[in-house]
Amino acid sequence: MATTLDRFKVYNFRSIEESDWIEVSDNTCLVGTNEAGKTNLLIALWKLNPANAEPIVPLDDFPRHLYSRYKADKHSEDVFIAADFILDEKFQNDIAKQLGCDIEQIRRVLVRRMYKGSYYVTFPYSKIDSYSVDRLKEIITSFNDKLFNDEVFTKESADLQKTIKTFNTNLLDEIPENFFSKKEAEDIINATQTFIQQNFGKKKNLPEYFQTHLISHIQKFLEAFEGKPIETTKEIRERVIREIPKFVYYSDYGNLDSEIFLPRVIEDFERDDLSESARAKARTLDVLFKYVKLSPKEIYELGNDRKIVIQKMNYNNQIVSTEEQDLSEEEIREWADKKRERGILLRSAATQLTLSFKKWWLQGDYIFAFEADGHHFRINVSDKLRPEPIELEGRSRGLQWFFSFFLVFLVETKEGHSNTILLLDEPGLSLHPIAQFDLAKFFRKLSEDNQLIYTSHSPFLVDMDNLSNVKAVYVDTETGRTKISSNLRYNEADAAKSIYPVHAALGLTVSDTLLLGCLPVLVEGPSDQIYLSLIKRHLISIGELKNSKEIVFIPTGGVRGMAPVTKLVSSRDDSLPFVLLDSDKTGKDYLKQLINGRYRDEKDKVLEVSQFLSEGEFEIEDLMPPKSLISIIDRMYRSDQYFEDDYQKGLPIVNQIEAWAGKNNITLAEGWKVEVARVAQNRFEKIMEGVPAELKNSWVALFTKLVEGDKK
């Protein structure tokens, strides 16, 4: 697994005084109104480690109202961006050995950048509260395998061998079920040292073997539990900077023009005082010329019948000075050969681009052509419906955007930056809504190889299957600060306009279920949608779900929102959608209301969670493997008393979590269930390992009920 971005935070950058920590996933969408600060969040993150060496420009980037004090107060040393990265596992192991610590202590690194361009690299998360028992089992099992095959053990008497094996077996048997903490680690060390003293007498080799291959490894856990600070070296800090992903940022400013005036490009490439929009344009031109494997100067020189050396041009495109020389016959032939070579290179590059573009763009079958003539370089486009070549600028703005982004991505990710994170500012706004839908699907595929963060206020670009990774960005009216929340119902007074795209996307999803013949199932909230989508995905992967219709889970914002959504989703023959309710008091009350009212004639379409488990106030969370949710809760909410120790098997888990939190003075923020579900979604593969057969049978029963009920 490559190094990935986990979260980031922005300080005193343009309009942002201090943002919240923004957690990201493989595919993260920031929704919000104009001026909410979405663009500035992305630009600050881009400048943490830009793929194209984008400069930090204090005059543009430091908050304008504070700029008068920038130099006087040495704000060049201020940090403007901080980010946590999860390091590649191989890299973790490597630097853990160099630093002599446990890999969990350096798994996450904090990278910060100052306005003057310098970096801080630290490992501030060295204190570990608990470890998965898998780590402990792995160490003890590995120790046993090595010991039992080493002559230090095999040359001992059969009785002592038996005693050692019994002790080691007991160590494994006494390990807790899910996590272990400082006490368990200390107990193992003390028990091992006592065992050595009581059984090995004056022997030297066996005690040393236990110390080197077992106790020293457990000792590292103790250092982690105590939060021993990690002292880095300059070499490791530099390696971390080389290891973290590069950021590729793209916005409409970089869209290519169809006709490019080469002398201006040559001049701009040598300047370092361009405006931000001019730099964006120059950057896209740079990747274009890299793609065709020619510099603008080469193209310019190859396109002239006589030698012309450009000394300088002004902004009215007027030549200030030139130096000309007539060509000999031999030189004319040489120029002709070069122009022919240039033509072949441009046609070859255009052909390759056309083939690559077809794999990305789903809205047409386009053919690109590059031309160079004297001072100008042109991009022409044709397709089957319009076979005549037309300048790129004459095609849709959507095509211009996608073509320009495509080039930037293709070139900058290939220049040694295969591990890149894409930052897209309002992508595809000029695309047709259907093309925006396709773009959202494309983003899903793109994020399989590259993390993606994009901003939008278009409902067509809000992926309802990825709702847990949609963040609302808005301005807090009390503080004036940019706020970010993954709880889309948080602070509705301020965030209402920002989350409009999500509400609109819900309406589009509802429409989709009618237009495309999907099977809609209404659920109470986003966390329910996430868990059920995970279960659906797993059942499909193991061949237990083979329904021809797509099953779409639609969150309604609680039982209050179900009535209006039910009317929207009802089919033309007035067949009602399925409803799946929690079995808590609210859910049961609403169930009675439905079967005695609107669902009187279709009672089989009103389902509750306990129907597939057992009698009790069960919620959708109880359909997930409890071991996985316990692990997530204990990692998200640190406490001296682990939830694992309080959990009672067979009882509703949400009630238990809330009771445990109250007992341990832990505040569960509004929307905490969505946060837990989002973590579960990002750990899908791990969660689906070893699902109990009884629970899997409940999943099959639920989805069988949905599929068969739809056929009636």
Chain segment 291-315, per-residue pLDDT in tens: 777 778 777 776 665 554 445 566 6
Identify the band that residue 652 occupies on the pLDDT scale cut at 50, 70 and 90: very high
Distance CA 613, CA 623 (A): 8
Specify the pLDDT at position 572: 44
Q: Model confidence at 407, in pLDDT bands (50, 70, 90)?
A: confident
Confidence of residue 86 (pLDDT cuts 50, 70, 90): very high
What would the two tokens of residue 435 be? 């093309």
Say which residue, 73 or 362, is predicted with more confidence: 73
Rounded to an integer, the average pLDDT of 109-114 is 96
**Residues in the chain, overall count:** 712
Flag the least confident range among 45-54, 411-420, 515-524. 411-420
In sequence order, the 6+-apart residues with CB closer than 8 A to the CB of 643 are 630, 633, 634, 637, 656, 657, 660
Cα-based angle 41, 18, 666 (whole degrees, multiple of 5): 110
pLDDT of residue 490: 47
- The percentage of the chain sitting over the pLDDT mark of 90, rounded to a whole number, equals 25
216 vs 227: CA distance, rounded Å: 17
pLDDT 10s digits, 53-67: 889 999 889 888 788
Residue type, 580: L
Interaxial angle between packed helices 216-225 and 182-199, expressed in degrees from 0 to 180 and rounded to the nearest 10: 150
What pTM, to 2 d.p., does this model score?
0.67
Better pLDDT: 506 or 94: 94
Mean pLDDT, rounded, of the chain? 82
pLDDT tens-digit series, residues 565-613? 676 666 545 678 899 999 988 888 888 888 888 888 888 899 999 999 8
Predicted local distance difference test score (pLDDT) of residue 525:
84
Identity of residue 562: M
For residues 482 and 41, the answer to whether their CB atoms sit within 8 Å is yes
Would the pLDDT of 74 be above 90? no
More confident of the two residues 200 and 468: 200
Which pLDDT score, from 0 to 100, does residue 238 have? 94
Residue found under tokens 């997930």:
624
Cα separation of 293 and 413, whole Å? 16
User: CA triplet 467, 473, 474: central angle to 5 degrees?
Assistant: 135
For residue 516, name the pLDDT band (cuts at 50, 70, 90): low
The predicted pLDDT at position 362 comes to: 63
Which pLDDT score, from 0 to 100, does residue 114 have? 96
Strand spans (E) along 133-192: 179-180
Q: Which of 164-173, 331-340, 561-570, 589-598 has the lowest mean pLDDT?
A: 561-570
* Range 416-420 average pLDDT: 64
Report whether pLDDT(83) > 70.
yes
* pLDDT tens digits, one per residue of 654-701: 999 999 999 988 888 877 888 898 888 877 888 888 788 899 999 999
Mean pLDDT across the stretch 441-468?
78
- Parse the chain into domains and list their residue ranges: 131-225, 256-415, 517-712
Of the candidates 534, 518, 537, the one whose C-alpha atom is nearest the C-alpha of residue 526 is: 534
Tens of pLDDT, residue by residue over 211-221, are 999 999 899 88
Residue 625 burial (C-beta neighbours within 10 Å; 0-12, 13-18, 19+): middle
pLDDT category of residue 273 using cuts at 50, 70 and 90: confident
pLDDT category of residue 191 using cuts at 50, 70 and 90: very high
Q: Give the pLDDT score at 363.
A: 64
- Using the predicted structure, report yes or no on whether residue 88 has a pLDDT greater than 80: yes
What pLDDT does residue 495 have? 46
* Phi (first) and psi of residue 94, to 5 degrees: -65, -55
What is the model's pLDDT at position 236? 94
Q: What is the pLDDT of residue 277?
A: 73
* Number of C-beta neighbours around residue 618 at 10 A: 24
Q: What is the share, in percent, of the chain residues with pLDDT greater than 70?
A: 84
- Specify the range with the lowest mean pLDDT, choosing from 89-103, 430-444, 512-526, 564-578: 564-578
